[in-house]
Amino acid sequence: MLKLELIELADLIHPEDLVDEIIKQNPGIPLPIPIEDLARLAGITKIEPLSSEGFEGTLIANAEKSAGAIFYNSLRPRPRQRFTIGHELGHFLLPWHRQSTFNCTVEDIAGRSNLDWEKQANQFSAELLLPRFLVTHRLQKFGSPEMAHVQNLAQDFETSVEATARRLVELNDYPCAVVFSKDNVVRYTVKSKYFEEQLCVWKGDALPSKSPSRATNTDAEEWDEIYSYWWLKERRSSEMPESVYEQTLCQEIGYKVTLLTYE
């Protein structure tokens, strides 16, 4: 049975610390993480969908933040809805998010906002839906990263491929990076702490011309080997990896996720 001792959360100001305490209180928490049930235990009395293109999520709470309601965009896929609910729950639980009403846009939920509280709410949601302890345990079993691991985790945790790929890279003990693109143009990249090389592509750059990731259709289970200089910034001071290995998952309307690694 789920529980939430709110007094234990009261003095925690960082998203990862809040989530660590929630998971600590619920060592047998089921998957996918029951985000609505946790929100209700926290004091959210209403969680309802709304059909709107003008917002992604809304939190309306009382002044003491002892009770509140969450509304989310019913037009989005279920993994996005779950992330939005987690985002609004972050606004509700993080102590310095003092205002009682938050109206969050696509930019806020997608991580394109420069507001600190939106960044923190996103971090809280990512941590809660893909808890560090549970994901790391699976990554240790998986071994070296593969796109199949992203897909398996996304299914088990009911999270989007994009959010899951970010989490897999952030928590990985292998040198790996992920490149998110649309219409073969880089949107952004994420690297693991063991990926010591610098990528030579940035936001707004085209995917490398010799990269198989540019193909219209790709086999996400197949690794392609490419000379490292197509992906990595050349260094004169020390030896670079000779090759980079890549897997690309093609999604809808031109979106792609490319996983990179090297020996």
CATH code, domain carrying 20: 1.10.10
Domain shared by 136 and 257, yes or no: yes
Q: Are residues 118 and 140 in the same domain?
A: no
Residue 203 lies in a domain: yes
Last residue within a domain, chosen from 71, 95, 129: 129
Instruction: Write the CB contacts of 185 (distance below 8 Å, at least 6 apart in sequence).
Output: 204, 205, 206, 207
The C-alpha atoms of residue 218 and residue 31 are separated, in whole angstroms, by 30
Say whether both 75 and 15 belong to one domain: yes
Task: Print pLDDT tens along the chain (263 aa).
Answer: 999 999 999 889 899 999 999 999 999 999 999 999 999 999 999 999 998 777 899 999 999 999 999 999 999 999 999 999 999 999 999 988 889 999 999 999 988 888 898 999 999 999 999 999 999 999 999 999 999 999 999 999 999 999 999 999 999 999 999 999 999 999 999 999 999 999 999 999 999 999 999 999 999 999 999 999 999 998 776 788 999 999 999 999 999 999 999 99
pLDDT at 237: 63
Of 71, 101, 129, the last residue of a domain is 129
Do 160 and 250 lie in a common domain? yes
Number of H helices, E strands in the chain: 8, 9
Q: Which helix (H) or strand (E) holds 34?
A: none
Is 184 a member of any domain? yes
Is 253 inside a domain boundary?
yes
Considering 129, 159, 191, which residue would you say is the last residue of a domain? 129
Name the residue among 89, 99, 251, 109 with its Cα closest to residue 181: 251
Same-domain status, 28 and 90: yes
Same domain, 137 and 248: yes
Q: Provide the domain limits for residue 160.
A: 132-261
Task: Provide the pairing of β-strand 44-50 with 68-73.
Answer: parallel
Q: Is residue 142 part of a domain?
A: yes
What per-residue confidence (pLDDT) applies to 73?
96
Same structural domain, 158 and 182: yes
Domain count, the chain: 2
Q: Based on the domain organization, do 11 and 90 belong to the same domain?
A: yes
> Do 179 and 206 sit in the same domain of this protein?
yes
Residues 101 and 86 in one domain: yes
The neighbour count for residue 19, using CB atoms within 10 Å, is 27
Q: 1 lies in a domain?
A: no
Task: State residue 96's pLDDT score.
Answer: 86
Is residue 254 included in any domain, yes or no?
Answer: yes
Closest among 257, 251, 230 to 241, alpha carbons compared: 230
Statement to judge: residues 42 and 85 lie in one domain: yes
Query: What residues have CB less than 8 Å from 216, skipping those under 6 apart?
Result: 250
- Cβ-based burial of 236 (10 A; exposed 0-12, middle 13-18, buried ≥19): exposed
Is residue 124 located within the same domain as residue 138? Answer: no
- Secondary structure (3-state) at 224: strand
